[in-house]
Every structure is written in structure tokens, then in C-alpha cells.
Amino acid sequence: MTLRSWVQTFAGGTFSTSMAKLNARHPWSHNDYFHSWILANLPEPCTVALDVGCGRGGLAAALSPHVDRVIGNDVDETMRLEASRRCAGLPNVTITGGPWVDGNEDLDLVTMVAVLHHLDVADALAHVCRRLRSAGRFLAVGLAPPTTARDYAWDVASIVTNPVIGYVTHPWPSKEGAPTHLSVPVRDPTLPFDQLRRLLDQLMPGAILQHRLGFRHTIEWTKP
């Protein structure tokens, strides 16, 4: 049993239910939370950016003032419609649906937030390498199942800090409850952190992989 499922059943589920209520009163998006990290780590210059798995287009919109041209790509039509609506007033943002791996244009930035575990990871990393220009950057926020003591320690830290971050980012109790989940099929991550580390060592030598709060990790790599 993983720590996350143990917490859900602890004390007959009372603890988990109370935490869920608390988190619904002070909701925060574990994905959007990392937009500021991405914006703080943009390559220079940053002319063309591709956000793979753009979902509702939140990151594409956030990148828009900082990048000449932003391409948001998503395989799901509903997500593309929502992203197009969200970015309608942003002329430098294009939302696309074809396979992102097919493009030939050199990219300054590729981002993926909670997307890599939906893809064949090794294949996706190889395509990112190919599509980036030299000195272009890959910035990703990911999820991995906990398998080591270190992973579990980060899970504990994420569980404890979850309501604290909620209070800080959303101090007044929300009338709407937790943000609605994406309507796309959700896939659980299967590649553990340490295996991802080994893949990155092979395919993106020098990539910085770090555990983060919010049950996430980040990958930062600048193409040589």
C-alpha cells in the first residue's frame, strides 16, 4: 500500500475527508503553481515556445507576454477548444492538435506540465532533444510513483504542506470548492523518479531533476 492510499484510509478515512474539505476551502492547482518557476527559467532569447499537453492553455497564456510566439499543443479536442478560448485575445499564441513530434522548426523552449507520464518517456525526451535549438531549454513538471525512502519523505512533506500552500495562495475560503479536474482521461504515472534519473542521464546529460512539493518533480535541461 502506498503512503498516499494509506493516508486515505487512515482513521477510517476521517483524516483524509477532513484534509479534502480543508483543501477544497483553500484550493490551489498543483500544476499552475509551477508556472512561476517556468517563467523564472526561460532561455534567453526565447522566440518560439512549445507547450506540449497544454490542457486549458493556462501556461500558454502565462508565456505569451514573455515569448514572441507560443504554440500550445494538445491531443484532446475539448482541451484545444478551451485553450483556444482562453488564449483568444493573445495573437502570439496558436493552439495545435497534430503530433508535436513532427515539427521541423527549431524551438527555444519546450514545456510539459503533468504530461510526460502520458507519453512514452524515452521517445518524448528524444523528440524534445531533436526539436530544441542549441542552448534551447526543456522545462517540465512531472509526477512519479514513490518507491524509495526519499520519495516517501517528499510525499509526507507534500501532504503536510498542501493545506499550508492552499492558505497562502488562496487565503479566503473558496465558495466554489476545489478546481474542477480536466475532462481528459487521467493516466497514473508509472516511471519512478530514480528510473527517470537514469533515462535523463542517457538522453539529456546534465539535466537537473528535483523533487518538489505538491507531489511533483521538475526537470530542467539546456541543450548543449
In the complex, which residues of this chain contact ligand SAM (CB under 6 A)? Answer: 31, 52-55, 73-76, 79, 100, 113-115, 118-119, 182, 184
The total number of residues shown for the chain amounts to 224
Residue 209 Cβ, how far from ligand SAM at the closest point, in Å?
18
Residue among 52 and 93 whose Cβ is closer to ligand SAM: 52
Residue among 13 and 99 whose Cβ is closer to ligand SAM: 99
Q: Measure CA 45 to chain center.
A: 23
Residue 13 Cβ, how far from ligand SAM at the closest point, in Å?
25
- Grid coordinates standing for 215? 507531489
What's the chain look like in SS3?
Answer: CCHHHHHHHHHHHHHHHHHHHHHHHCCCCCCHHHHHHHHCCCCCCCCEEEEECCCCCHHHHHHCCCCCEEEEECCCHHHHHHHHHHCCCCCCEEEECCCHHHCCCCEEEEEEECCHHHCCHHHHHHHHHHHEEEEEEEEEEECCCCCCHHHHHHHHHHHHHHHHHHHHHCCCCCCCCCCCCCCCCCCCCCCCHHHHHHHHHHHCCCCEEEEECCCEEEEEEECC
Residue among 15 and 84 whose Cβ is closer to ligand SAM: 84
Residue among 25 and 118 whose Cβ is closer to ligand SAM: 118
- Grid coordinates standing for 74? 494538445
- Count CB neighbours of 85 within 10 A: 12
Residue among 9 and 169 whose Cβ is closer to ligand SAM: 169
